[in-house]
Amino acid sequence: MLAIIGGTGLSELEGFEQLEKLALKTPYARSKVRFQRVGSGDKEFVFLARHGAGHKIPPHEINYRANIAALADLGVTEIVAINAVGAIHGDLLPGSVAVPDQLIDYSYSRDVSFYDGKLKAVHHIDFSNPYSETIRQRILQATVAVNSSSKTRCEVLAGGTYACTQGPRLETAAEIRRLAQDGCDMVGMTGMPEASLARELGIEYASLALSVNRAAGLSEEAITLEDIHKVLESGMDFVSAVITEIVRQS
Ligand code: HPA
């Protein structure tokens, strides 16, 4: 079964039939999910709002282990994660999307593993390629289909390195210069440890990242939440159309 993890600007997925809501108990915390369906078809999927209903949980306090464990318990085998990002790559203008193929984790003090020596014995996963190529290609194909069939067109960066910072504050200009030197193309706060936890449980995982601002120091103007929310609102139409396409093809 497919799960969509919604991020900033996507706490609810509209345009789908809303089915059962569940609060699942895991050894880590409770996690809330909702089953949804495309139109009158039989394609069901699970939606999980990473920041909770009403966007109340900040990136560093999300219980990533509870969320991924809950999805695994439901029989989820594939995840499409939606992430808002600041753009470092010059082509990733606000309002465009990326499907990253690499990441660097700069976050800290998060519970990063199920294999913590308590519930599960120590184990080291291969994470050379952090995203599932199969899911990446499905996302990319869906963006092509949406771009060729609807009026909500969008530029797509078919790759790139995602930097995961701790948040909740945005970065300094010097931090972004360092990320750029490290080869990062976009920066967000929620991509990790979500991706590695999914890998630990054998779930295929990839991200559709929506650029909502130029990262700190890369534009003349200060980053304002007002501007970010404007881009989020318009960009989420494209993201929702891509999700619909992915679910239809699943
Ligand atoms: N930095 C980190 N996370 C973000 C940004 C940013 O500029 N924009 C959206 N999420």
Give the closest residue to 127 by CA, choosing from 64, 208, 28, 205. Answer: 205
pLDDT at 40: 66
pLDDT at 142: 97
Omega before 130 within 30 of 0, i.e. cis: no
Ligand 1 centroid – CA 44 distance (Å): 31
221 token code pair: 């103007």
Which of 169, 185, 212 to probe ligand 1 with, by most ligand atoms within 8 A of CB?
Answer: 212
Ligand 1 centroid – CA 86 distance (Å): 4
pLDDT at 33: 95
Q: What Cα–Cα distance (Å) separates residue 46 from each residue in 66, 69, 132, 146? A: 15, 13, 19, 21
Strand partners, 44: 37
pLDDT one digit per residue (tens) for the chain, 250 residues: 999 999 887 877 877 888 899 999 999 999 999 999 886 667 889 999 999 888 889 999 999 999 999 999 999 999 999 999 999 999 999 999 999 999 999 999 999 999 988 888 999 999 999 999 999 999 999 999 999 997 778 999 999 999 999 999 999 999 999 999 999 999 999 999 999 999 999 999 999 999 999 999 999 888 999 999 999 998 999 999 999 999 988 8
The C-alpha R_g of the chain, in whole angstroms, comes to 17
213 CB within 6 A, ligand 1:
yes
Q: In this structure, which amino acid lies at residue 115?
A: Y
189 CB within 6 A, ligand 1:
yes
Output the pTM of the full model.
0.95
For the segment(s) 2-249, the CATH number from 3.40.50.1580, 3.30.43.10, 3.40.50.1820, 3.40.640.10 is: 3.40.50.1580
> 43-59: buried (b, 16+ CB within 10 Å) or exposed (e) per residue?
bbbbbbbbbeeeeeeeb
pLDDT at 192: 98
Ligand 1, atom 2: closest residue by C-alpha: 188
112 token code pair: 């990063």
